[in-house]
Structure formats: C-alpha cells, structure tokens
Amino acid sequence: MRCIGYAGEEAFDVILYISRTLTKLNYPVLIIDLSDSNALFMSVHHGMGLNSDSEIINYRNINYTRRIPSEEELAMFDTGVVFMLYGRNVTEDIQLLCSELIIVINTFPHIIDETNTLVHDIGNKDCRIRILIRDIVTLDDVERVKASVTFPFSNEMLNYLYLDYADYECAVNCQYTQLIRFTNISSGMEKYIINNIRTMLPDIKPNQIKKALLAARKGR
C-alpha cells in the first residue's frame, strides 16, 4: 500500500485527477479527507444515503471517507494507493500513516509563514517531505518561496504549478458537476500528474500512464 499525505493549501483537484487516473490503471484508491475544507466533499457525489463521516463511499471507483478507516478496511487497499488529505490538521498520531507528505503552498507570504509553522509542528520526520508550489506566475516566485521556507527540503523534492485559468476552471467544474472531468488542464498540471504517478508506481511505463490519463480526463 502506498500512502501519500497532502497538507497545507488546497490540492483537492490534483488529488482527484491523480486518483481518477489511478482507477483507470485499475489500482484501488482511497482518499481519507481529514481537512476542514469541504472541497473534496463537494466534488465527490454521495449517493445511496451513505455518509462519508462514518462510511467509505465509492464513486467512479474512487473510495472516499472522512474518518480514519479500520485496519480491515485499509487492508482492501494493500495493492492500491491511499491519499490522506490533512489540510491544516496535521497531528503527530495521524501522520504516521503516510510514507510521503506533500506540503502544498502558494506564493503569498502569509501562507508561507503559516506553512512554516505547520511543518515545524510535525513531530515525525520519518516520512519524506515534498513541496508543491501552486499558482506561480514566474520562476522568480519559486526562488522567493524557496528563500522563505524554513524547513529543510531538497530541490529534487520541489514541484511547482503555474497559475492557469484552465486549471482553475476545471477545478471549479469538478465541484459543480461532480464529474471529475479535466479535459482542459494545463500541460504543467498534466506533467505533474504523470510524474507523480511514475514516482508512486515506477513499474508502470510512462505511455501507459499517459493513456490512462487521457481516458480518465473525459470524466466517463
């Protein structure tokens, strides 16, 4: 089981796109949403009267819940991928589940400050920390963020996404339509999704991931 955590700023769209692509590769996916924002909750259709606060719901082959599942439930995803969405709720006992933690940050100084505090409070430094800088306008923003971040990281663990209207529109549509359709995402977002999956699942060939992404983005 590969367990990856996302903490910090909003990354619900990235998690949805990666999850949907993984389902097209027929990997079981579980998203554990422990954040305070309802971004993912609004994007995943809850049917059959099921409540994600107490159960795991399945929608378009993505399993979603807002509680910590039992060991038996987690065992069903032994061959798959588990995403833990912390938001700003990273506590010591919870983070032990993930082997890799992606800190999502943007270019606002106040957000960088809050993220520095958040990461500083993380007790367990056994999990690998990666950074995703969202909504940059130029590469100078990346340098500025790198200079402002106070926790240790390496350049190989840093990714960035440009501010793109198409990505914004796809993310909004994901919440409105609940279709997980991302046909018009930017090339940077596409590259990030493919590289992320390659890191998670190195046995899969890149062109297979690309084909799965093309199938997943249609929302069907």
Partner 1 sequence: MSKVLFWAPYHGQGQTCNLQVTALIMGLVYRKRILLMQTHFMNNNLEGPLVGYNVDNESDESEIFYGIGLDMAVTYSNMKKIDIKLLESCCLTFPNTPIYLLPGTQTKCRETFDRDIARSATRLIQDADECVDLVFIDANSGNDALSVKMMDLSDLIVINLTQRRYVIKKFFEDYGERFIDNAKVFYLFGDYDDNSSYNINNCRRKYGKYIKANNSGVIPYCTKFMDAQNEGNIIRFIKNGLNIRSKNKENKLINQIIMRFHSGIRSYGQEETDYFFHKSCRSVEKMVSLL
How many residues in total does the chain contain? 220
Position 166 contacts partner 1 (CB under 8 A)? no
Place of tokens 């910590």: 68
Q: Sheet holding 2-8: strands in order across?
A: 57-59, 62-65, 29-33, 81-87, 2-8, 100-105, 128-136, 158-162
Q: Smaller CB distance to partner 1: residue 80 or 127?
A: 80
Q: Contact with partner 1 (CB under 8 A): which of 2, 41, 42, 60? A: 60
Find the shortest distance in angstroms from Cβ 176 to partner 1: 16
Position 175 contacts partner 1 (CB under 8 A)? no
Cα distances (Å, whole numbers) of residue 213 to 31, 197, 208: 18, 10, 9
Position 208 contacts partner 1 (CB under 8 A)? yes
Position 24 contacts partner 1 (CB under 8 A)? yes
**Both tokens assigned to 192:** 């990030």
Find the shortest distance in angstroms from Cβ 49 to partner 1: 7
Binding site for partner 1 (CB under 8 A): 24-26, 45-50, 55-61, 63, 208, 211-212, 214-215, 220
